[in-house]
Amino acid sequence: MNRKAFLSTVVPLASMATAFTNDKNPEKKFASKKIPPYLKKGDLIGITCPSGHISAEETQSAINKMNEWGFKICTDDTVGAVDFTFAGTDDERADGLQKMLDDPEIKAIMLGRGGYGAIRIIDKIDFTKFIKRPKWIIGFSDATVFHCHINHNFGIATLHSKMCNSFPDDFSLAEQTQIDSIDSIRQCLVGEKMKYLTGLNECNRYGDAIGPLVGGNLSIIQMLDGSISDLHTEGKILFIEDVDEYPYKIDGMLWNLKRSKRLDRLKGLIIGEFRMKPDDPGEVFGLNLYEMVMEKVKEYQYPVCFDFPVGHVKENYALKCGMEHKLSVTAGGTALECIG
């Protein structure tokens, strides 16, 4: 596929969308998607690190950029904190996130980085106040834990996108796709209707689909199996991405998705970037990503698109998890539009 065929990134389509609607029928609260209020200039975004550690300097670029967007920024003690690989102990990280979730002044929370650690604290978090007063949770990779947990259990939308550590130190040296990816966070946060267009991949399966968008990092999705944060895919458009795994591991995780019946009733499937580890010498796996995916979904009819710009790469556009999307995979390329 021709990478450059990715068209002008995003097409903001009019109108600030309606803010979070009050829930008059608590019976249906999990069915009706709650959209956290979109941000206005002057709103406060909190930065916290529930997973791996990041230094204060490394968050500076994100802080500057978001200030430029007109938002105020606050950080907590987990930024710069180090407990081996983690940004502080489990209790410190849980406490950091909890305070930001509960603080009514903070309108959105951007995670410092991924890494590992969200699973260790998710069950310590009390979402009571967050459910009453949702706010955007922003991040990807290890943050898939929060996306899955929050989308499914509370029906609240979250933002799968780059985090502090993915903001370049010098925007003037950054590639346009990276700049666009970062700007898509702003566009999502202020409520612009997002539509992403990407080029044709010859392995795509054509079709149209409408459904809530769910997904994230494949390894994390598997890790949530059987737990309260488990990913539910029926009637949904699923997107997956992963990095630094052997092809055989990816294949095993795709079988896990299939065997746990999470590929059979999808509306559509979006395959993001998979920068896999090379096979060990003498252990060439023999199947590429397209083959691995298509052999598992060949009996279904829904659209499948490859090379969607989401993942551990520079082109990683912001996606609103839990919100209704329209996916259109045609000979002209792929379009993914948020219609929620």
Partner 1 sequence: MYWIIVELLNCFIKIYMIIIPPYLKPGDTIGLVCPSGYMPAEKYQTCIETLTEWGFKVVVGKTPGHQFHYFAGTDKERLNDLQHMMNNKKINTILCARGGYGMGRIIDKLDFSKFKHHPKWIIGFSDITVLHCHLFSNYNIASLHAPMAAAFNDGEFKNEYIQSLHEAMLGQKADYKTEGNILDQPGKAKGILVGGNLSLLVNVIGTPSDVKTKNKILFIEEVGEYIYAVDRMMYQLKRSGKLDNLKGLIIGRFSDMKDTSIPFGKTVEDAIKDLVKEYNYPVCFGFPVSHDKENYALKIGVKYKLIVDKGFVEVREV
**Contacting residues toward partner 1, per CB under 8 A:** 52-53, 83-86, 116, 119-120, 123, 222-230, 248, 251-253, 255-256, 259-260, 262, 279, 283-287
Q: Residue 121 CB, nearest distance to partner 1 (Å)? A: 10
**Residue 32: CB minimum distance to partner 1, A:** 26
The whole-angstrom separation of Cα 292 and Cα 255 is 9
**Residue number with CB closer to partner 1 (53 or 236):** 53
Query: Closer CB to partner 1, residue 253 or residue 327?
Result: 253
Smallest separation (angstroms) from partner 1 to the CB of 223: 5
- Evaluated on CA atoms 182, 183, 189, 194, the torsion sign reads negative
Q: How far is the CB of 330 from partner 1 (least distance, A)?
A: 32
Question: Which CB, 248 or 300, lies closer to partner 1?
Answer: 248
Q: Which residue has the tokens 């003037």?
A: 172
Smallest separation (angstroms) from partner 1 to the CB of 260: 4
Smallest distance from partner 1 to CB 259, Å:
4
**Residue 125 belongs to what H/E stretch?**
none
Closest CA to 167 of 314, 27, 275, 268: 314
Cβ distance to partner 1 smaller for residue 26 or 281: 281
Which one, 28 or 259, has the nearer CB to partner 1?
Answer: 259
Close Cβ partners of 312 (under 8 Å, ≥ 6 residues apart): 141, 241, 242, 243, 244, 273, 275
Residue closer to partner 1, measured from CB, 217 or 328 = 217
Structure tokens, 238 = 């699923």
Query: In this structure, are residues 109 and 97 in contact, taking their beta carbons and an 8 Å threshold?
Result: yes
Burial 7-19 (b: 16+ CB within 10 A, else e): eebbeeeeeeeee
R_g of the chain, CA atoms, integer Å: 19
Minimum CB separation of residue 113 from partner 1 in Å reads: 12
**Sequence letter at residue 104:** P
**In the numeric block, which tokens belong to residue 305?**
């698109």
Helix ranges restricted to H, 13-140: 56-68, 90-102, 118-121, 128-132
Q: Name the residue among 229, 170, 192 with its Cα closest to residue 16.
A: 192
Burial 46-66 (b: 16+ CB within 10 A, else e): bbbbbbbbbeeebbebbbebb
In the complex, what is the shortest distance from the CB of residue 86 to partner 1, in angstroms, rounded to a whole number? 8
Residue nearer to partner 1 on the CB measure, 263 or 318: 263
Report the residue number, 161 or 229, with the smaller CB distance to partner 1: 229
